[in-house]
Amino acid sequence: MDPISLLFTAVVSGAAAALKPTAEKAVVDGYEALKAFLKRKWPGVGVDALERDPASESRQKVLKEDLEGTTGIDDRDLLEQAKALLKTIETHDPDAARTANIDIKDIEAGANATIEDVIAQGSISVQRVKAGGDVKIKGVRAGNPTQR
């Protein structure tokens, strides 16, 4: 996963999980640490607005644009914190990872581009896929995937 997608997923999933009244302490601590790191190094990244509604597409879009407009976002310590938070969420609140909208873009393959089991509570967008052979997209669910 590229650095921006990793951070975006970690922040959105972290906000969704950490802001629940029943959130595990490990999730809250991991999210707060990642948020503090981001605010310290890149104070313009819009994490606070996202916290009002982590599932909001418009708030997620602002966060994504902020991350894309930030230089040095591939900081090793930051990315390690983001990975650690995602592992913690997966352990304590796996449904929170499904809050983020998923954008799959700019895929070029000579053949055999396969994407399987993509689940999001938000939206899923696939754009600009070029393949000289097989393309297989399977098991894609968006909206409220638990009710499908």
- Please report which confidence band the pLDDT of residue 55 belongs to, taking 50, 70 and 90 as the band edges: confident
In this prediction, residue 146 carries a pLDDT of 43
130/79: higher pLDDT: 79
Please list the helix, strand and coil fractions of the chain in percent, rounded to the nearest 5, in that order. Answer: 50, 20, 30
pLDDT at 106 over 90: no
